[in-house]
Homo-oligomer: A and B are copies of this chain.
């Protein structure tokens, strides 16, 4: 039985303000998902033209690397969450010290910011990962490669190729190198930042296990998806991953839920995985925010990753993550040579009245993610064809 307040009618003053740091498409789509909940959305964006800044009412233009900007922004917010992982950990601790809930918190987020910290922690938890080690210089990379050599490989390239990653700041294939010998291994060190070496896993495909966790410890797991990369950038996501044995799917979900729990993640956690020929799943990357591998949930799940992220950071009960269709496919729309995507709507929408388009309001640049499409249905081949056609037509690589 809830008490009815006495006295003058107080209105709906209890609806909280969610402060979103970063003006990219994830913020844009989180705002879209937050509108129905009636929560207020406040945005800290690099520019007034950023993807989210175009559609949010309450926008502060400022630099997320500046502590005073963050502090001033946070004053009107009940909780702070993120479009990206680029806010310095120290700044987040300062906001927490000011009494602002930061979700995910800095102690969780550092595992998505620093691949060295992430690998160390996952090792300690016994989570299966590619073989890895922080490396000092190209000779150390060669030593790392040799440690993993299992016969084969000519002199000087034993155990190569090796994957090198800057421990901070990489995304979408940037900050990642596949090197074939010691000479090639010189490049990543030129930036002067720590470099992590990882074995090149001979995976059969990439998967992603997406979960959402709230401060009171409730968590939901989305179906495990297959993620198809082209040139290091996510191209297509299929939900659920076709032919994935139930035992393996559950193992991947349990892994993601355990990581969320152990790292005290609040909000959406994407665990990118390699599936190997012998049935193992190894953790590739972590992201603690809505993620490209979860975009299919906007049209394919009862509750989208964006809606559940909002619910989680506000410590509200989470929504049902189950799929609404047998198959859902997401295809990213990349910029191509043909910039006029809007005119392409005529053809795409007329061809497929069930097509769900999600554009980000970004200027087209070749190779840049400017939107995605979702399709769903019972026939996977048809659902894939429709998504691929629409993404290709919008990009301009398909002309009919």
Contacts and interface: CB of A to CB of B under 8 A. Distances in A.
Contacts of A311: 349
Contacts of A32: 32, 35-36
Interface residues of A, number: 67
Nearest to A356: B36
Interface string A340-373: 1111111001100111111111111100001100
A161 interface: no
A372 to B, nearest CB: 10
Contacts of A343: 2, 14
Question: How many copies, total?
Answer: 2
A38 B32 CA distance: 12
A339 B4 CA distance: 8
A82 B173 CA distance: 45
Of the listed residues A1, A14, A350, A358, the one surrounded by the most CB atoms of chain B closer than 10 A to its CB is: A14
A59 interface: yes
B57 A320 contact: no
Interface string A315-353: 011111000100000000000011111111110011001
A360 B11 CA distance: 13
A28 interface: yes
Contacts of A303: 353-354
A391 to B, nearest CB: 14
B1 A362 contact: no
A15 B339 contact: no
Contacts of A337: 4
User: What is the interface of chain A mostly: helix, strand, loop, or mixed?
Assistant: loop
A243 interface: no
Interface of A: 1-2, 4-5, 9-12, 14-16, 28-29, 31-32, 35-38, 40-41, 53-57, 59, 298, 302-303, 311, 316-320, 324, 337-346, 349-350, 353-365, 370-371, 396, 399-400
A345 B320 contact: no
Given A16-B342, A28-B35, A317 B353 contact: yes
B319 A353 contact: yes
Contact of A346 (B9, B10, B317, B359): B317
A374 to B, nearest CB: 10
Nearest to A373: B36
A5 B371 CA distance: 21
B57 A359 contact: no
B317 A349 contact: yes
A38 B324 contact: no
24 contacts: A1-B400, A4-B338, A5-B338, A9-B365, A10-B340, A11-B363, A12-B340, A12-B341, A12-B362, A14-B343, A15-B342, A15-B359, A15-B361, A16-B342, A32-B36, A37-B345, A38-B357, A55-B56, A55-B57, A57-B59, A303-B353, A303-B354, A316-B349, A319-B354
Given A316-B346, A349-B319, A357 B36 contact: yes
A12 B339 contact: yes
Nearest to A43: B57
Nearest to A374: B36
A55 B37 contact: no
Nearest to A48: B57
